[in-house]
Structure 1
Amino acid sequence: MIARFAFSFALLLPAWAVAEDAAEKQPPNVIVIMADDMGYGDLSCYGATAFETPHIDALAERGVRFTSGYCSASTCTPTRFSLLTGMYAFRQDGTGIAPPNSPALIQPETKTVADLLKKANYETAVIGKWHLGLGEKGEGPDWNGELKPGPLEIGFDRSFLLPTTNDRVPQVYVDQSRVLNLDPADPLWVGRKKPSEDHPTGITHRDELKMDWSHGHNQTIHNGISRIGFYTGGHAARFRDEDLADRWVAESVAFMEQHEQKQPEEPFFLFFSSHDLHVPRIPHERFQGKTPLGFRGDSIVQLDWCVGELTATLERLGITEETLVVFCSDNGPVLDDGYKDGAVELIGDHKAAGPYRGGKYSVFEGGVRTPFITCWPGTIEPAVSDEVVCTIDLPASLAALADVEIPAGVAPDSVNLAPALLGKEGAEGREELVVQNNGNAFAIRDGRWKLHRHPGGQTRNLTVEQELANTKVPKLALFDLETDPRETTNLAEERPEIAARLAERLETYLTGGGQQR
């Protein structure tokens, strides 16, 4: 259901722009902004009170704010895989959290949302965190040569990447298909084993760290922070953590400016793949101390600034009303994810997952229900919607907006929810949705009902209150989200017919069926 409300921004728009149906317009520019590890309660427009996020709030005020917006997994690699391919990640082996030397998880034979939009003459770009592997199957990335296949082989014209995720090595940019500023005389090596006995790590050189690790992240040190994995060389190519957000914004602004100079008559697609709020959380110095929540809160404010810079660029270029902006997150929140950065101690009354239970790594709502906002001034009327939408649905929905036919077998799990994303009266969201963690826990939502399927016994169930608690959960658990949104009461024995029906539907998906198209 969509709740509409009047908002003063509409007064700034001409009447024809408000009334014009989206189908009669040219396909819009599209910017998908994906936050990293952001929970449902991490924005002021979703209830946060410890700080404000005015630029993201402005998107919500001018567009549709979804209360049942989901990512398809509670960790980054599978969600990003599904956003680009329109396919549940569990349908392909090896789509868990990608290691530093992972080959490309999306090989050229798999068509992506970027491939689809190029059929409508879109110029396409991905800027920011990748974490979907680079290089050939069985080989992985050639850090000192061409990093192919990668984004350029799956539909993107422009690619400027953090190749893995910043708690994993190496800390370099990949510009198109090569490491930026790499000196051939100082080759880059990335591996899983310590390259030498005296190689500095977070264990042996802990006194050199400016941010201590709490678990796991204790191998090669760069910029005073130890990481997962080992690397040597490439010193001229290495970046400073504090500068990531600024660089993503600069590259994105340059892409939009150059596009408008070269081909303003054609649309563009920009996937702005943020690293905020993922660990290590090291926002730029000008954002440090801006919130009472430490670096985690400061990273949210930094991301809000990024959104403001992107939307300000649209205004300056005169294309705000020609651009659909989608704001989402790759999974729910986590506090201690490997570093001692004050996130746990400074959380106070802030509820990162909002009213929901769980967080990153969990199939509870807190792990997969996240902020989801669509904004297209002049086309979308301000509203709040409780329709179920998911990041996996962006390929089919954006293809529909671009009037692109999706070939058989492409984006098989993506549903065209364009009317719902545009806030159309009476438009419906998904009937059912499957979500996963990084391993073998799954859940299926069908209306008010949600069934969890865990492997049984001890499972990692992260919550914002107790980050690394090993909680014993039943193999199957049924929840009524309408009366029990925190998923505290298992109704599997009380409503066995519903549990059995959803278990059968989930099994259909997990054994290769259930495709939506």
Structure 2
Amino acid sequence: MAYRILFLFLSVLIFRIGNTQNSQPNVLLIYVDDLGYGDLGSYGASKIKTPNLDKLAADGLRFTNAHSSSATCTPSRYALMTGNYPWRVKGTGVLPGDAALIVPTNKTSLASQFKSAGYATGIVGKWHLGLGEAVAKNWNQPIKPGPNEVGFDYSFIFPATADRVPTVFLENQTVLAGNAADPIQVDYQNKVGTDPTGKEHPELLKMLSSPEHGHENTIVNGIGRIGYMSGGKAARWTDEEMPLTFLEKAKAFITQHQREPFFLTYALTEPHVPRMPSTMFKGKSGLGYRGDAILQLDWAVGEILKELDQLGLSKNTLVIFSSDNGPVLDDGYQDGAVTQLNGHKPAGILRGGKYSIFEAGTRVPMIISWPGKVQPGVSDALVCQIDFLASFSSLLKKELPKNSATDSENMLEAFLGKSKTGRQVLIEHAGSLSIVEGNWKYIEPSERSAYDPKTDTELGNAKDPQLYDLSKDPSERNNLANQYPDKVKALAEKLLQIKNK
């Protein structure tokens, strides 16, 4: 009996050692949706508890000046995947659910770079970068190109956002639980089929939409969506089970590839609308469904980290956590985000939010953890998600082809905490553009609206130049453009130079 126990112990020990001694680290990118700079306890939130992410921050490197490339989702995800500023390319704005793929299949992507280095690559969760070669597509047949054609060996996604049709999962190129006898149709211009809409039948809604946001089309799971769909009744997910499905698929990918290096993008949908958290989280935050969704997000992160630990992979896994843009409260549904805010400040001390050229649009939480490799602490280095491609290429010792990822810079030393120096210059994007150099931020003049009443967001646009000293005024309250005209001129010229690069 004693020999059996000893044999079992040694077998487990050898298994765990084997799993932690790969020369190449696993990389887990946890990418969330619309999470603000002030939404986590580790970033100053006091009205909501995020213990799992706070522990990740305590054990890793927490960045105070990390950015998405843009203040909305599709362009940020495009930049992350391609290493190119999205404002250089037409058609990279927020996509409808039937959009064609916008990531080039003939250029290096973040996923393809890992794949070429021998990694198993996967994405689970939100995609929102288009599918197929055209808007018109047959949802009842395999759809390509998509994630598999830009470097992911495995994908389990929904096409766009949870508030846009079609509300289905795609595993690799195929709609899960599709049925040829109940074909799926999608249209963003005209109603298809006989499904009720939120506009016609508000009495069928379990969550009312906010006026003028567009969430009044086909009702799925008691929630009005953007766009029309028919068919695919068995394939439609429910909001409450969708995040749990993503979690299980992410865990399964890790388990399947535990004996080889893997790169997994785990793209959670929280706290993007519609916020309809699983029952065990409803009402738990005291901040409405948005707060409950953040609790769910934190729990899911804890579960995926627990999976790494149970498989003996934690020490050899580099974990990156970040958000695609800043926060928004009322983004289309009456879910208590506004009425039950309870003093919570999703953007922290920053001004603006999602859609805004002010800092809260793109300055987001970023935490990087790699036990024994990244020392716990706080970094003030200026970094951006657009730099992941060049930086991880350096980690993998893989050169980037010429004319690929031309806006991505190698910030590996900063990401790993070995250098306090980040980017010298960063372009921020929210329709209009701004440039950050050192402590100075210049926002170019714009005729765009200064304020969005639908989302109650200061968009940061103004007809006159804006200049802020972020070291003294991170909330961007004191416009210094008139006091420093030479600095305005220099930054405007540099912005134009980068635009024309």
Shorter-chain TM-score range: over 0.9
1:113 and 2:110 aligned: yes
Deviation at 1:456, TM superposition (A): 2.3
* Equivalence for 1:10: none
Measure the CA separation in 2 of the matches of 1:196 and 1:159.
28
Tell me the equivalent position of 1:179.
175
> Structure 1 unaligned runs (5+)?
1-23
SS at match of 2:468: strand
1:291 aligns with 2:285: yes
Distance 1:469 1:483 in 2: 20
Residue 509 (structure 1) shift: 2.4
Q: 1:446 to 1:51 in 2, by over 3 A?
A: same
Where does 1:98-247 land on structure 2 (aligned, <5 Å)? 98-136=95-133, 138-195=134-191, 199-214=195-210, 215-247=213-245
Give the counterpart of 1:354 among 348, 368, 371.
348
With 409-418 and 318-327 compared, the bigger mean Cα shift is at 409-418
Tell me the equivalent position of 1:273: 267
Q: How big is each residue's C-alpha offset from its partner over 1:402-453, in whole Å with a ceiling of 9 and x where there is no partner?
A: 11111111111111111111111x441111101111x3x1111101000112
Task: Please tell me the residue identity of whatever aligns with 1:339.
Answer: Y
2:439 pairs with 1:442: no
What displacement does 1:472 show? 6.7
1:186-230, CA deviations, whole angstroms, 9 ceiling, x for partnerless residues? 000000233369652111100110000003211111100001100
Residue 451 of structure 1 aligns to a residue whose secondary structure is strand
Q: Note closer, same or farther for the CA distance 1:475–1:131 as it changes in structure 2 (3 Å cut).
A: farther
Deviation of the 1:346 alpha carbon: 0.7
Report the equivalent of 1:476. 465
CA shift in 2, pair 1:472/1:149, >3 Å:
closer
Any idea what the Cα deviations from partners look like across 1:267-297, whole Å, max 9, x if unmatched? 1000011100000001100111110101100
Residue pair 2:446, 2:462 contacting (<8 A) in 1 also: no
Change (3 A) 1:141 1:396: farther
1:502 matched to 2:495 = no
Conserved? CA contact 1:33–1:326, under 8 Å: yes
Please name the residue that 1:381 is paired with.
375
Q: 1:471: Cα distance to partner? A: 7.5
The answer for the alignment partner of 1:431 in structure 2 is: 424
What amino acid maps onto 1:452 in structure 2? I
Letter of the structure 1 residue corresponding to residue 176 of structure 2: L
Letter in 1 for 2:485: P
Contact map agreement 2:193 2:230 (CA 8 A) in 1 = no
Does the CA contact (< 8 Å) of 1:27 and 1:401 recur in 2? no
Between the aligned partners of 2:479 and 2:326, the Cα distance in structure 1 is 22
CA contact (8 A) 2:446 2:461 kept: no
The CA distance in 1 between the partners of 2:123 and 2:193, in whole Å, is 38
CA contact (8 A) 1:86 1:395 kept: yes
Residues of 1 paired with 2:140 and 2:22: CA distance?
A: 45
The answer to whether the 8 A contact 1:44-1:57 is kept is: yes
- Code of the residue aligned with 1:119 in structure 2: it is S
Range moving further from structure 2, 84-93 or 328-337: 84-93
> Are 1:254 and 2:249 an aligned pair?
no
Cα RMSD after superposing both structures? 1.7
Question: Closer, same or farther in 2 for the Cα pair 1:493/1:42, shift >3 Å?
Answer: same
Match of 1:41 in 2: 38
Number of residue-to-residue matches in the alignment: 479
The whole-number CA distance in structure 1 between the counterparts of 2:404 and 2:461 is 38
Identical columns (%) = 45
Q: Where has structure 1 moved over 6 Å in runs of 4 or more?
A: 469-472
Aligned counterparts of 2:448 and 2:156: Cα–Cα separation in 1: 42
Q: Is the contact between residue 104 and residue 140 of structure 1 (CA under 8 Å) also seen in structure 2?
A: no
| 2:218–2:225 contact (8 Å) kept in structure 1 | yes
Q: Quick one: which amino acid aligns to residue 334 of structure 1?
A: V
Point out the more displaced range, 469-478 or 298-307: 469-478
Q: Secondary structure of the residue that 1:506 maps to in structure 2?
A: helix
SS of structure 1 residue aligned to 2:345: coil
Q: Residue 183 of structure 1: CA displacement?
A: 0.4
C-alpha distance in structure 1 between counterparts of 2:49 and 2:154, whole Å: 32
SS for the counterpart of 1:126 is: strand
| Separation in 1, partners of 2:347, 2:458 | 16
Alpha-carbon distance, 1:460 to partner: 3.9
Gap change, CA 1:205 and 1:139, over 3 Å in 2: closer
Superposition deviation, residue 147 in structure 1: 1.1
Match of 1:18 in 2: none
24-33 or 184-193, larger mean C-alpha shift: 24-33
Match of 2:74?
77
Equivalent AA in structure 1 for residue 399 of structure 2 = E
- 1:59-116 Cα shifts (integer Å, max 9, x gaps): 1111100000111000000000100111111111100000121100113113201111
Partner residue in 2 for 1:458: 449
Give the counterpart letter for 2:181 in structure 1. Answer: A
- Determine if contact 2:318/2:369 at 8 Å carries over to the other structure: yes
Q: 1:393 aligns with which of 387, 391, 397?
A: 387
| TM-score of the pair, normalised by structure 1 | 0.90
